[in-house]
Amino acid sequence: MDPKFARLTDRLHPAFERLRDGPVFQGGKLPKQGVYLFSENGKPLYVGRTNNIPNRYRAHRNPSSGENQAAFAFILACEAFGRAKASYKKDGGRKALIIDPAFLAHFGAAKDRIRAMDFRAVEETDQTRQTLLEVYCAVVLETPYNDFGTH
């Protein structure tokens, strides 16, 4: 492995362990930026990264957040609505789903579900290590709702 890349990856596993084994957020202060994890009944479900963890945490859970701010809820709602993936096409795409009352009911229920989940976060300020840590955690934890595909 190239030494430059190795320097970026040498801290991934210790940061992963801090995220996986860290305390569940119960209110108070969160790290400013880094990687976060939503779990339910002890099962890791979704890993994300952001430069503003407190705002991102609120956006995932906020009843008024749209599909772009509450991406995890949108994924859960698509699953409950019978859509394996959200389409970006005009017919049946995100814009059509977000105005469908039946889908909106699933979207609201998904946000309720997320509000009941455990949330953990670990600080990582370096953008490259933050990206690598998100992928590392998602792969090792086998989070079912992370998808690194492009569209």
The model's pLDDT over 106-120, given as tens digits with 9 standing for 90+, comes to 999 999 999 999 999
101: Cα within 13 Å, side-chain hemisphere: 0
Q: pLDDT tens digits for 111-148?
A: 999 999 999 999 999 999 999 999 999 999 999 999 88
> Regarding beta strands 34-40 and 118-123, do their DSSP bridges make them parallel or antiparallel, or are they unpaired?
antiparallel
pLDDT 10s digits, 26-73: 988 999 999 999 999 999 999 999 999 999 999 988 877 676 778 899
Q: Give the span between the Cα atoms of 82 and 39, in whole angstroms.
A: 22
